[in-house]
Structure 1
Amino acid sequence: LALATETWISLWNLETYQKTCDLGKSGSFFHKDIIRDIKFSNNGDILATGSNDSKIILWHFESQKGSGKLSGHLGPVLSLMFSDDDRFLFSSSIDGKILIWDWDSGDII
Structure 2
Amino acid sequence: MSLWKQAQIAKQEGSALSRAIANSQNENKIVSLSYRLLNALQIRNPDLYMQALYRQYLSLGRPIPTVFLDTLTDEETFMAVGEAFMIGLSSNMEQTSSEEEPKV
The structure that is helix-richer by fraction is: 2
Specify the structure having the higher radius of gyration (Cα). 2
Same fold (TM over 0.5): no
| More contact order relative to length (CA 8 Å, sep ≥ 6) | 2
The TM-score range, normalised by the shorter chain, is under 0.3
Higher strand share: 1
> TM-score, with normalisation over the residues of structure 1?
0.23
